Amino acid sequence: MATRFGFRGLLGAAVGGVMLGAVAQPVSALEISQHVLKDSAEVNAILLKGKIDDGDTFDLQVYIAGLPKKPNIVVYLDSPGGNLREGMRLGKFFNQNKIETVVDAKTRCTSSCALAFLGGRDNVTGKPQRTKASSGAVGFHAFTREFDKDKQYTADDLKFVIQRTQTEVYGVAEYLRSIGADMDVLRIMLRAASNEMNFISNDDAIALGVRV
């Protein structure tokens, strides 16, 4: 099962040709499937693989609704990220429905996927339950602004870009607060440029409340 695709960037606002976004990499749309190696009588194990885009949270809800009833749901993430708001929407869904999140060995979860990953919760206690394999990679990066080099921008255009960036940073901060994540994630994000990636170490992951 695959969701809609079409990269909208880490941030997706535009006015008069001014864009806020992250550097895109060509990847496939998000696929939602059973993780056959992890599924069991007690656990519905779900693999999310590919780019995150609008509507993926709804598709995941539909997919889960069709699964057999089991005590636990665990989502395994293998994604380069994609749409910022959808990543946070996924994280809130995990958080509100007490779904554990995992980045398995030799897989990557970066950008908006890393934010979604932080929403993982234990099905019984409701406490944070995000697990990163020691060889799994979780990465964050900062925002960027893209401009049309052939366009003359007004002071109002630039004012909008600054205001929009501030709004998006505030939105991420509010998301982290709502899921009970460490606000230090913002610092980690801003340490890497939008075309780079700050992969957290296992020690950093533990400090952020992630099991390794």
Mean pLDDT per 10-residue section of the chain, whose length is 212 residues: 32 33 53 98 98 96 97 97 95 98 98 97 96 98 76 87 86 96 94 92 96 97
- pTM for this entry: 0.84
State the pLDDT at residue 19: 31
Q: Nearest 5 degrees, angle CA 184-CA 207-CA 10?
A: 40
Torsion of the alpha carbons at 204, 206, 211 and 212, rounded to the nearest 10: 60
From 85, 86, 44, 87, select the one nearest 66 (Cα to Cα). 44
State the pLDDT at residue 193: 87
State the pLDDT at residue 146: 67
State the pLDDT at residue 144: 66
66: helix, strand or coil: coil
Q: Give me the domains of the chain, ranges plus CATH numbers.
A: 13-207 (3.90.226.10)
Q: How far apart are CA 136 and CA 132, in angstroms?
A: 6
- Residue type at 144? T
Does residue 14 contact residue 161 with C-beta atoms inside 8 Å?
no
Q: How far apart are CA 194 and CA 169, in angstroms?
A: 14
State the pLDDT at residue 125: 94
